[in-house]
Structure 1
Amino acid sequence: MRPHCLYLLLLTALPAAAQIYRYTDANGNPAYSDRPPAGVQGQAVELAPLNRIAPPRPTLAPASEPELLPPASAPTYSTLELNGILNGGVVRANNGTVNVEVRLQPPLHSTHRLRLLLDDQPYGPPGTTPSLQLLNLDRGEHRLAVQVLAGEQVVQQSPTLTFTLQRVHRP
Protein backbone atom coordinates (compact mmCIF):
# COMPACT_ATOMS: atom_id res chain seq x y z
CA MET A 1 0.00 0.00 0.00
CA ARG A 2 2.81 2.44 0.88
CA PRO A 3 4.57 2.10 -2.51
CA HIS A 4 1.28 2.95 -4.25
CA CYS A 5 0.87 6.08 -2.14
CA LEU A 6 4.44 7.10 -2.94
CA TYR A 7 3.79 6.73 -6.68
CA LEU A 8 0.62 8.80 -6.42
CA LEU A 9 2.47 11.54 -4.55
CA LEU A 10 5.21 11.58 -7.18
CA LEU A 11 2.66 11.79 -10.00
CA THR A 12 0.89 14.72 -8.36
CA ALA A 13 4.24 16.49 -7.85
CA LEU A 14 5.23 16.26 -11.54
CA PRO A 15 2.99 19.13 -12.71
CA ALA A 16 4.49 21.33 -9.99
CA ALA A 17 7.91 20.85 -11.59
CA ALA A 18 6.62 21.78 -15.10
CA GLN A 19 7.43 25.08 -16.82
CA ILE A 20 4.94 27.95 -16.52
CA TYR A 21 4.29 30.37 -19.41
CA ARG A 22 2.84 33.89 -19.25
CA TYR A 23 1.08 35.49 -22.20
CA THR A 24 -1.60 38.02 -23.00
CA ASP A 25 -4.96 36.61 -24.14
CA ALA A 26 -7.23 38.00 -26.88
CA ASN A 27 -8.89 40.41 -24.39
CA GLY A 28 -5.57 41.83 -23.26
CA ASN A 29 -5.58 40.06 -19.90
CA PRO A 30 -2.48 38.30 -18.56
CA ALA A 31 -2.86 34.50 -18.62
CA TYR A 32 -0.73 31.61 -17.42
CA SER A 33 -0.41 28.08 -18.78
CA ASP A 34 1.78 25.01 -18.49
CA ARG A 35 2.12 24.92 -22.32
CA PRO A 36 3.40 27.66 -24.59
CA PRO A 37 0.40 29.29 -26.30
CA ALA A 38 -0.02 28.60 -30.04
CA GLY A 39 0.34 31.69 -32.22
CA VAL A 40 0.91 34.03 -29.25
CA GLN A 41 4.23 35.10 -27.89
CA GLY A 42 4.64 33.51 -24.43
CA GLN A 43 7.30 34.17 -21.86
CA ALA A 44 8.67 31.45 -19.56
CA VAL A 45 8.17 32.35 -15.89
CA GLU A 46 11.06 31.63 -13.56
CA LEU A 47 9.78 30.37 -10.25
CA ALA A 48 11.56 30.75 -6.95
CA PRO A 49 12.99 27.50 -5.57
CA LEU A 50 10.62 25.48 -3.38
CA ASN A 51 11.15 25.40 0.35
CA ARG A 52 12.51 22.11 1.56
CA ILE A 53 12.61 20.89 5.13
CA ALA A 54 14.57 17.87 6.20
CA PRO A 55 12.47 15.30 8.08
CA PRO A 56 13.13 15.17 11.80
CA ARG A 57 15.50 12.50 12.98
CA PRO A 58 13.85 9.86 15.13
CA THR A 59 14.84 10.08 18.73
CA LEU A 60 15.28 7.04 20.84
CA ALA A 61 13.19 6.89 23.96
CA PRO A 62 15.28 6.71 27.11
CA ALA A 63 15.47 3.28 28.57
CA SER A 64 13.00 3.00 31.39
CA GLU A 65 12.68 0.59 34.21
CA PRO A 66 10.08 -2.13 33.72
CA GLU A 67 6.76 -1.39 35.38
CA LEU A 68 6.20 -3.46 38.46
CA LEU A 69 2.79 -4.91 39.23
CA PRO A 70 1.44 -4.18 42.68
CA PRO A 71 1.08 -7.08 45.08
CA ALA A 72 -1.94 -9.27 44.35
CA SER A 73 -3.41 -8.72 47.84
CA ALA A 74 -3.57 -4.91 47.50
CA PRO A 75 -6.29 -3.24 45.40
CA THR A 76 -4.69 -2.04 42.19
CA TYR A 77 -6.84 1.06 41.71
CA SER A 78 -8.05 3.33 44.48
CA THR A 79 -10.81 4.60 42.14
CA LEU A 80 -12.57 2.36 39.63
CA GLU A 81 -16.05 3.49 38.67
CA LEU A 82 -18.35 4.20 35.74
CA ASN A 83 -19.41 7.76 34.88
CA GLY A 84 -22.13 8.94 32.54
CA ILE A 85 -24.93 6.80 34.01
CA LEU A 86 -26.53 7.31 37.39
CA ASN A 87 -27.14 4.24 39.51
CA GLY A 88 -30.90 3.65 39.39
CA GLY A 89 -31.23 6.31 36.67
CA VAL A 90 -33.03 6.37 33.36
CA VAL A 91 -31.21 6.74 30.04
CA ARG A 92 -33.08 7.71 26.89
CA ALA A 93 -31.40 6.50 23.69
CA ASN A 94 -33.72 5.77 20.76
CA ASN A 95 -30.93 4.04 18.82
CA GLY A 96 -29.81 2.04 21.87
CA THR A 97 -26.34 3.63 22.00
CA VAL A 98 -25.04 4.50 25.46
CA ASN A 99 -21.64 6.07 26.17
CA VAL A 100 -19.88 5.50 29.49
CA GLU A 101 -16.61 6.74 30.92
CA VAL A 102 -14.36 4.80 33.29
CA ARG A 103 -12.74 6.75 36.14
CA LEU A 104 -9.47 5.17 37.23
CA GLN A 105 -6.97 6.29 39.80
CA PRO A 106 -4.03 5.74 39.23
CA PRO A 107 -4.09 5.52 35.39
CA LEU A 108 -4.48 2.15 33.72
CA HIS A 109 -1.38 -0.02 33.99
CA SER A 110 0.20 -0.87 30.63
CA THR A 111 -0.48 -4.60 31.06
CA HIS A 112 -4.13 -4.12 32.06
CA ARG A 113 -7.25 -3.92 29.87
CA LEU A 114 -10.80 -2.71 30.57
CA ARG A 115 -13.89 -4.80 29.80
CA LEU A 116 -17.54 -3.94 30.34
CA LEU A 117 -19.96 -6.34 31.98
CA LEU A 118 -23.52 -5.88 30.77
CA ASP A 119 -26.11 -7.86 32.71
CA ASP A 120 -23.27 -9.88 34.29
CA GLN A 121 -21.90 -10.95 30.87
CA PRO A 122 -18.72 -9.66 29.15
CA TYR A 123 -19.57 -6.99 26.57
CA GLY A 124 -17.12 -6.37 23.73
CA PRO A 125 -13.39 -6.98 23.59
CA PRO A 126 -11.08 -5.71 26.34
CA GLY A 127 -9.38 -2.39 25.56
CA THR A 128 -7.30 0.41 27.01
CA THR A 129 -9.55 3.41 26.38
CA PRO A 130 -11.59 4.80 29.28
CA SER A 131 -14.44 5.78 26.90
CA LEU A 132 -16.69 2.83 26.18
CA GLN A 133 -19.87 2.47 24.16
CA LEU A 134 -22.84 0.12 24.31
CA LEU A 135 -24.50 -0.34 20.91
CA ASN A 136 -28.09 -1.30 20.02
CA LEU A 137 -29.03 -1.97 23.62
CA ASP A 138 -32.55 -3.30 24.27
CA ARG A 139 -34.91 -1.18 26.30
CA GLY A 140 -35.49 -2.13 29.89
CA GLU A 141 -33.42 -2.54 33.05
CA HIS A 142 -29.69 -3.37 32.79
CA ARG A 143 -26.75 -3.93 35.13
CA LEU A 144 -23.37 -2.48 34.18
CA ALA A 145 -19.87 -2.78 35.62
CA VAL A 146 -16.30 -2.59 34.35
CA GLN A 147 -13.51 -5.06 35.00
CA VAL A 148 -9.75 -4.56 34.93
CA LEU A 149 -8.09 -7.58 33.34
CA ALA A 150 -4.51 -8.82 33.36
CA GLY A 151 -4.62 -11.32 30.52
CA GLU A 152 -7.77 -13.31 31.26
CA GLN A 153 -7.58 -12.79 35.03
CA VAL A 154 -9.89 -10.24 36.65
CA VAL A 155 -7.74 -7.88 38.73
CA GLN A 156 -10.52 -5.61 39.99
CA GLN A 157 -14.19 -4.87 39.27
CA SER A 158 -16.20 -1.68 39.76
CA PRO A 159 -19.43 -1.60 41.73
CA THR A 160 -22.39 -2.67 39.57
CA LEU A 161 -24.88 0.03 38.69
CA THR A 162 -28.42 -0.49 37.50
CA PHE A 163 -30.16 1.73 34.95
CA THR A 164 -33.23 1.64 32.75
CA LEU A 165 -32.92 2.28 29.02
CA GLN A 166 -35.85 3.98 27.33
CA ARG A 167 -36.13 3.86 23.58
CA VAL A 168 -38.98 4.16 21.11
CA HIS A 169 -40.79 0.91 20.46
CA ARG A 170 -42.08 0.57 16.92
CA PRO A 171 -44.16 -2.52 16.24
Structure 2
Amino acid sequence: MRMWLLIACLIALPVTAEVFTYVDAQGNRVYTDQPGSGNAKRVPLATSNRMSANPSGGAPVTAAQKTEDKPLFHYDMLRVLVPEPDATVRSNAGELIVSVTNEPGLQRGHRYRLLLDGQPTAEPGLSPVFALSNIDRGRHNLSVEILDEQGRTVERTANQPFQMLRISLAQKRKVKPCTLTDYGQRPECPLKDKPEEEKNPFLRFF
Protein backbone atom coordinates (compact mmCIF):
# COMPACT_ATOMS: atom_id res chain seq x y z
CA MET A 1 0.00 0.00 0.00
CA ARG A 2 2.82 2.33 0.86
CA MET A 3 4.49 1.62 -2.45
CA TRP A 4 1.37 2.71 -4.41
CA LEU A 5 1.15 5.88 -2.33
CA LEU A 6 4.74 6.68 -3.18
CA ILE A 7 4.11 6.08 -6.89
CA ALA A 8 1.07 8.38 -6.78
CA CYS A 9 3.19 11.09 -5.17
CA LEU A 10 5.79 10.57 -7.84
CA ILE A 11 3.24 11.07 -10.60
CA ALA A 12 1.94 14.23 -8.95
CA LEU A 13 5.41 15.86 -8.91
CA PRO A 14 6.04 18.64 -11.40
CA VAL A 15 7.62 17.43 -14.61
CA THR A 16 10.53 19.83 -14.07
CA ALA A 17 11.40 18.40 -10.58
CA GLU A 18 14.13 15.77 -10.09
CA VAL A 19 13.18 12.53 -8.33
CA PHE A 20 15.55 10.48 -6.19
CA THR A 21 15.21 7.01 -4.65
CA TYR A 22 16.98 5.15 -1.93
CA VAL A 23 16.41 2.28 0.55
CA ASP A 24 15.89 3.38 4.16
CA ALA A 25 17.08 1.58 7.30
CA GLN A 26 13.98 -0.61 7.34
CA GLY A 27 14.65 -1.79 3.80
CA ASN A 28 11.83 0.23 2.25
CA ARG A 29 12.22 1.88 -1.16
CA VAL A 30 11.74 5.64 -0.74
CA TYR A 31 11.03 8.20 -3.55
CA THR A 32 11.64 11.89 -2.91
CA ASP A 33 12.52 15.13 -4.66
CA GLN A 34 15.39 15.72 -2.21
CA PRO A 35 18.76 14.02 -2.60
CA GLY A 36 18.54 13.05 1.07
CA SER A 37 20.80 10.14 1.93
CA GLY A 38 24.17 9.84 0.33
CA ASN A 39 23.15 6.66 -1.48
CA ALA A 40 20.11 8.30 -3.12
CA LYS A 41 20.00 7.90 -6.90
CA ARG A 42 18.24 10.13 -9.39
CA VAL A 43 15.34 8.46 -11.19
CA PRO A 44 15.28 9.22 -14.97
CA LEU A 45 11.91 10.67 -16.01
CA ALA A 46 10.21 10.21 -19.35
CA THR A 47 9.64 13.30 -21.50
CA SER A 48 6.25 14.97 -21.30
CA ASN A 49 3.65 14.08 -23.92
CA ARG A 50 1.83 17.39 -23.64
CA MET A 51 1.32 19.18 -26.98
CA SER A 52 2.56 22.66 -27.73
CA ALA A 53 0.13 25.54 -27.77
CA ASN A 54 0.96 25.90 -31.48
CA PRO A 55 0.71 22.31 -32.80
CA SER A 56 1.61 23.28 -36.34
CA GLY A 57 4.95 24.60 -35.21
CA GLY A 58 4.68 27.29 -37.89
CA ALA A 59 5.09 31.02 -37.57
CA PRO A 60 2.16 32.99 -36.13
CA VAL A 61 -0.42 34.26 -38.60
CA THR A 62 0.32 37.85 -39.56
CA ALA A 63 -2.24 40.62 -40.04
CA ALA A 64 -1.66 40.54 -43.81
CA GLN A 65 -2.43 36.82 -43.94
CA LYS A 66 -5.61 37.39 -41.95
CA THR A 67 -6.66 40.05 -44.47
CA GLU A 68 -6.04 37.73 -47.42
CA ASP A 69 -8.02 34.94 -45.79
CA LYS A 70 -10.94 37.25 -44.98
CA PRO A 71 -13.98 36.16 -47.01
CA LEU A 72 -15.32 38.55 -49.65
CA PHE A 73 -18.22 40.78 -48.69
CA HIS A 74 -21.53 39.67 -50.19
CA TYR A 75 -24.08 42.09 -51.64
CA ASP A 76 -27.68 40.96 -51.51
CA MET A 77 -28.49 42.69 -54.80
CA LEU A 78 -26.62 44.32 -57.69
CA ARG A 79 -28.21 45.17 -61.04
CA VAL A 80 -28.35 47.64 -63.91
CA LEU A 81 -31.35 49.97 -63.57
CA VAL A 82 -30.98 51.90 -66.83
CA PRO A 83 -31.24 50.83 -69.55
CA GLU A 84 -33.69 48.02 -68.96
CA PRO A 85 -32.95 44.55 -70.34
CA ASP A 86 -33.35 44.35 -74.14
CA ALA A 87 -33.98 48.10 -74.31
CA THR A 88 -33.69 49.93 -77.64
CA VAL A 89 -31.65 53.12 -77.40
CA ARG A 90 -31.93 55.71 -80.17
CA SER A 91 -29.04 58.14 -80.34
CA ASN A 92 -27.33 59.45 -83.46
CA ALA A 93 -24.21 60.11 -81.36
CA GLY A 94 -24.32 56.65 -79.78
CA GLU A 95 -24.78 58.14 -76.32
CA LEU A 96 -26.07 56.16 -73.34
CA ILE A 97 -26.51 56.82 -69.61
CA VAL A 98 -26.15 53.72 -67.42
CA SER A 99 -27.35 53.61 -63.81
CA VAL A 100 -26.79 50.75 -61.35
CA THR A 101 -28.09 49.97 -57.87
CA ASN A 102 -27.07 47.60 -55.09
CA GLU A 103 -28.09 46.50 -51.58
CA PRO A 104 -26.60 47.11 -49.11
CA GLY A 105 -24.90 50.35 -50.12
CA LEU A 106 -21.38 50.45 -51.46
CA GLN A 107 -18.95 49.41 -48.75
CA ARG A 108 -15.88 51.39 -47.76
CA GLY A 109 -12.99 50.77 -50.13
CA HIS A 110 -15.24 49.26 -52.83
CA ARG A 111 -15.60 50.63 -56.37
CA TYR A 112 -17.95 50.22 -59.35
CA ARG A 113 -16.71 49.19 -62.80
CA LEU A 114 -18.91 49.11 -65.90
CA LEU A 115 -18.26 46.64 -68.70
CA LEU A 116 -19.46 47.08 -72.29
CA ASP A 117 -19.27 43.84 -74.25
CA GLY A 118 -16.92 42.48 -71.58
CA GLN A 119 -14.50 45.43 -71.69
CA PRO A 120 -14.15 48.08 -68.94
CA THR A 121 -15.47 51.48 -70.02
CA ALA A 122 -13.40 53.45 -67.48
CA GLU A 123 -11.40 53.14 -64.27
CA PRO A 124 -13.32 51.89 -61.21
CA GLY A 125 -15.09 54.67 -59.30
CA LEU A 126 -17.60 55.54 -56.62
CA SER A 127 -20.40 56.78 -58.89
CA PRO A 128 -23.21 54.35 -59.82
CA VAL A 129 -23.97 56.44 -62.95
CA PHE A 130 -21.95 56.11 -66.17
CA ALA A 131 -22.09 58.26 -69.33
CA LEU A 132 -21.10 56.47 -72.56
CA SER A 133 -20.79 57.90 -76.06
CA ASN A 134 -20.05 56.83 -79.61
CA ILE A 135 -21.38 53.32 -79.11
CA ASP A 136 -21.58 51.47 -82.41
CA ARG A 137 -24.91 50.57 -83.95
CA GLY A 138 -26.22 47.12 -83.12
CA ARG A 139 -26.65 44.81 -80.17
CA HIS A 140 -24.45 45.14 -77.08
CA ASN A 141 -24.15 43.75 -73.55
CA LEU A 142 -23.74 45.66 -70.29
CA SER A 143 -22.59 44.35 -66.93
CA VAL A 144 -21.35 45.98 -63.74
CA GLU A 145 -19.06 44.67 -61.06
CA ILE A 146 -17.97 45.80 -57.60
CA LEU A 147 -14.29 45.56 -56.73
CA ASP A 148 -12.77 45.62 -53.25
CA GLU A 149 -9.67 47.56 -52.17
CA GLN A 150 -7.45 44.75 -53.45
CA GLY A 151 -9.03 44.79 -56.91
CA ARG A 152 -10.89 41.52 -56.37
CA THR A 153 -14.36 41.13 -57.89
CA VAL A 154 -16.87 41.05 -55.03
CA GLU A 155 -20.06 40.97 -57.13
CA ARG A 156 -20.84 41.01 -60.85
CA THR A 157 -24.10 41.09 -62.77
CA ALA A 158 -24.96 38.91 -65.71
CA ASN A 159 -24.75 40.40 -69.20
CA GLN A 160 -27.72 42.67 -69.92
CA PRO A 161 -28.39 43.19 -73.64
CA PHE A 162 -29.55 46.39 -75.34
CA GLN A 163 -29.89 47.64 -78.91
CA MET A 164 -28.25 50.85 -80.10
CA LEU A 165 -29.96 52.54 -83.04
CA ARG A 166 -28.00 55.20 -84.87
CA ILE A 167 -29.10 56.73 -88.15
CA SER A 168 -26.62 55.85 -90.86
CA LEU A 169 -24.91 58.42 -93.04
CA ALA A 170 -26.95 57.23 -96.00
CA GLN A 171 -30.13 57.70 -94.00
CA LYS A 172 -29.05 61.18 -92.99
CA ARG A 173 -28.49 62.08 -96.63
CA LYS A 174 -31.97 60.84 -97.46
CA VAL A 175 -33.52 62.89 -94.67
CA LYS A 176 -31.53 65.97 -95.58
CA PRO A 177 -29.88 65.80 -99.01
CA CYS A 178 -26.44 67.31 -99.41
CA THR A 179 -26.07 70.67 -101.13
CA LEU A 180 -22.88 71.94 -102.73
CA THR A 181 -22.02 73.91 -99.60
CA ASP A 182 -22.56 70.87 -97.33
CA TYR A 183 -19.73 68.82 -98.80
CA GLY A 184 -16.80 68.80 -96.43
CA GLN A 185 -18.99 70.29 -93.69
CA ARG A 186 -21.30 67.40 -92.81
CA PRO A 187 -19.98 63.88 -92.10
CA GLU A 188 -22.55 62.40 -94.45
CA CYS A 189 -21.39 64.77 -97.18
CA PRO A 190 -17.69 64.04 -97.74
CA LEU A 191 -15.74 66.04 -100.32
CA LYS A 192 -15.02 62.92 -102.38
CA ASP A 193 -18.76 62.65 -103.10
CA LYS A 194 -19.08 66.25 -104.20
CA PRO A 195 -20.31 66.34 -107.81
CA GLU A 196 -18.45 68.38 -110.38
CA GLU A 197 -19.91 71.77 -111.01
CA GLU A 198 -21.47 72.19 -114.41
CA LYS A 199 -19.57 74.57 -116.66
CA ASN A 200 -21.37 77.49 -118.22
CA PRO A 201 -22.14 76.41 -121.85
CA PHE A 202 -21.55 79.95 -123.14
CA LEU A 203 -17.90 79.78 -121.98
CA ARG A 204 -17.17 77.08 -124.59
CA PHE A 205 -17.37 79.64 -127.38
CA PHE A 206 -14.56 81.76 -125.96
Q: Residue in 1 aligned with 2:91?
A: 93
TM-align CA RMSD = 1.8
Q: Residue in 2 aligned with 1:158?
A: 157
* Cα-to-partner distance string for 1:123-162 (whole Å, 9 max, x where unaligned): 1111101111112111111010001011321111012101
What's the CA shift for 1:97?
1.1
Which residue of 123, 126, 132 corresponds with 1:125?
123
Q: Residue in 2 aligned with 1:142?
A: 140
Answering whether residue 73 of structure 2 is matched by residue 82 of structure 1, we say: no
- Show structure 1 runs of 5+ residues with no match: 1-70
Say which structure, 1 or 2, has more relative contact order (CA 8 Å, 6+ apart): 1
What's the CA shift for 1:94?
1.4
What pairs up with 1:15-30 in 2 under 5 angstroms?
none
Name the amino acid aligned to 1:157: R
What's the CA shift for 1:72?
2.4
Q: Which runs of 4+ in 1 moved over 2 A?
A: none
* Cα-to-partner distance string for 1:69-95 (whole Å, 9 max, x where unaligned): xx626x621110001112122111111
CA distance in 2: counterparts of 1:146 and 1:84, whole angstroms: 12
CA distance in 2: counterparts of 1:128 and 1:141, whole angstroms: 27
- Report sequence identity in percent: 34
Name the amino acid aligned to 1:146: V
Q: Normalization by structure 1: what TM-score?
A: 0.55
Q: Normalization by structure 2: what TM-score?
A: 0.46
What's the CA shift for 1:103?
0.8
Greater fraction strand: 1
- Show structure 2 runs of 5+ residues with no match: 1-69, 170-187, 189-206
